[in-house]
């Protein structure tokens, strides 16, 4: 059985990990990071942040409409400032949170269905492209 000290130590470790993740997100968002390496099932992949998509990213950040990138499990990976302003929170309280937090209850089911359909379609497209190679 865990003691209270064990839980407190675990909380401190989790706080440290969260702070590191938030610092990493801030470094990426502010342009301090040029590239990063991600390991997946097929090996390591290099992702560069300074490329032809930089113009697009600047456009997304400067537009007045809200924009978010959401992971398959609904976590907000990217948000422009306009979205954060729309929901009345600082950007730091949007990134890393579940998208459901910002959807009114009466719209949760259709939004979840739409997002699932989008991810399922993306998977089908990737599978189809892989078979054609």
SS (H, E, C) 58-69: HHHHHCCCCCEE
Q: Is the pLDDT at 17 greater than 60, yes or no?
A: yes
Q: In the predicted model, what is the mean pLDDT of residues 84-105? A: 92
| Both tokens assigned to 114 | 């739409």
4-132 in CATH: which number?
Answer: 3.30.450
What is the model's pLDDT at position 66? 93
The 10 Å Cβ neighbour count of residue 29 is 19
Tell me how crowded residue 86 is: count the other CB atoms within 10 A of its CB: 15
Q: What pLDDT is recorded for position 9?
A: 93
Count other C-beta atoms under 10 Å from residue 116's C-beta: 12
Pair of tokens at residue 23: 């610092």
Query: Has residue 86 got a pLDDT over 70?
Result: yes
How many of the other CB atoms lie within 10 Å of CB of 94? 23
Q: Give the pTM.
A: 0.54
């Amino acid at each position: 059985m865990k003691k209270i000290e064990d839980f407190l130590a675990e909380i401190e470790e989790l706080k440290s990990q969260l702070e590191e993740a938030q610092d990493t997100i801030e470094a990426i968002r502010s342009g301090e990071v040029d590239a990063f390496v991600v390991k997946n099932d097929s090996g390591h992949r290099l992702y560069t942040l300074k490329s032809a998509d930089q113009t697009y990213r600047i456009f997304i950040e400067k537009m007045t409409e809200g924009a978010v990138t959401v992971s398959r499990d609904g976590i907000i990976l990217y948000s422009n400032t306009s979205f954060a302003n729309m929901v009345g929170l600082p950007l730091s309280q949007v990134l890393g949170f579940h998208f459901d937090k910002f959807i009114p209850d009466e719209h949760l089911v259709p939004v979840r269905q739409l997002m699932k359909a989008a991810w399922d379609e993306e998977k089908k497209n990737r599978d189809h492209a892989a078979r054609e190679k």
